[in-house]
Amino acid sequence: MAKKDGGLRFQPSGGSRAPQVPVGKKHKLAIERLANDGRGIGFSEGRTWFVSGALAGEQVEARVLGAHGKVVEARAERILTASAARRSEACIHAKVCGGCSLQHMPHADQLALKQRMLAEQLSRLANLEPREWAAPLVGPELAYRRRARIAVRWDHKAKRLDVGFRAAASQEIIAISECPVLVQPLQPILGALSLVLRELEKPQSIGHVELFSGSCSAVLVRHTAVLSEADVSRLQAFCTEHDAQLWLQGSGEPQPFDPAQQLSYRLDAYDLSLAYRPGDFIQVNQPVNDSMVAQALEWLAPQANDRVLDLFCGLGNFALPLAQRVRELVAVEGVQAMVQSAELNAAANGLGNAHFYQADLSNPLADASWAQGGFAAVLLDPPRDGALQVVKQIGALGVKRLLYVSCNPTTLARDSAELLAQGYQLERAGILDMFPQTAHVEAMALFVRQ
């Protein structure tokens, strides 16, 4: 069982209210430990400080970003006494860009931080510890991200188009010439993007840009006004130069410049290809996604004669590999467009035993026609708010094995408590390092009902 922390130290209430700490003020303090999100925690003048960019044991000069009562949020401006664990950031923009918050921390320490966060949430919210902790699923520390959203804003006063990533704790756009966490095929596109956007006749018409890497590279340009033929030609020439598809999105759904174009990604271990459109959810880290799917199949251990249920199935990232191993795969998703895409992916890969349904998963499951007949196992891959309404009904389906893939340890822990109450045991759990250099934690948990 994870050791429970005594909590943060706050001064008792009473007496006169201390003046608020002004934004922008610099303050020197000692960092005692790390919060679950990787920020350093320090205490000064009766306040608790959360300092991004700081490590335990360091003396720092921090700049205030915001203050609420006795809590101050700040950023480390200068490291006065550095921790022996501190390392140089791989990216020149790391101190200002809002994308990566932990580049100053060794990767092994990042993994330990994420492991501790998962363990603490399971202990605190569900009084639970798995029978077995799995080793973290990891991939490359850098050059892993196969999609990115580029912020674009027209500065009316300066008559200038700002292109880049959002600054940490700010709406400011930081011009980015390179991003080490992007996969290599997207690097030259990012480096040249700002120039082509600024050369447009009406650059103020651009809302944002998204980059994708899969079966090929793709550039989605979201525009708030109709683009001229000349501007579309410029964008298409840019994409041709970089061997990328051009997708455009006005008031409707994203559309390829060439209707024959299709974007997809591979699950090579299963000889599967999954088509998707910009705006569809896909995992950004292909190596960890491949390992995640393999581990899910290993833990769930489906048998050839099983009927298996995949809830929140999306495009079929888990459903299609599962369908290759079982008699029947039933997959359910709340968004009809995703259901249609998953059906097309199953058909394109020759999987006739996978059946897809659209359903509001907050409603009773047992009443649905697809829920009749029982299931040997269930896989859940819900969004950040978890699947509490679903897990409340899992026991009624007679499921013996349940695999929960989570992008939020807090809701995983909450839902685990409900599964525990229904007689399930947490057999295995472990983190998935889907977003290295950040504090974002993904996890996988296997529950078994005796």
DSSP 8-state code for residue 2: P
At 78 the three-state DSSP class reads: strand
From CA 193, how far away is CA 176, in angstroms rounded?
10
Instruction: With CA atoms as reference, report the closest residue to 91 among 41, 26, 35, 165.
Output: 165
Under 8 Å between Cβ of 308 and 379: yes
Give the count of beta carbons closer than 10 Å to the beta carbon of residue 352. Answer: 8
* DSSP state letter for 117: H
How many C-alpha atoms does 129 have within 13 Å on its Cβ side? 12
Q: Which residue has the tokens 């960019």?
A: 53
Nearest Cα residue to 319 out of 272, 269, 369? 272
> Treating both helix axes as pointing N-terminal to C-terminal, what angle do 229-241 and 187-198 enclose, rounded to 10 degrees?
160
Contact criterion met (CB below 8 Å) for 315 and 349: no
Neighbours of 316 (CB within 10 A): 31
Sorted by sequence, the CB contacts under 8 Å of residue 14 that are 6+ apart come out as none
Report the distance separating Cα 238 and Cα 291, nearest Å.
34
What is the set of active-site residues? 407
If DSSP codes are grouped into helix, strand and coil, which group holds residue 267? Answer: strand
In the chain, how long is the greatest CA-to-CA distance? 72
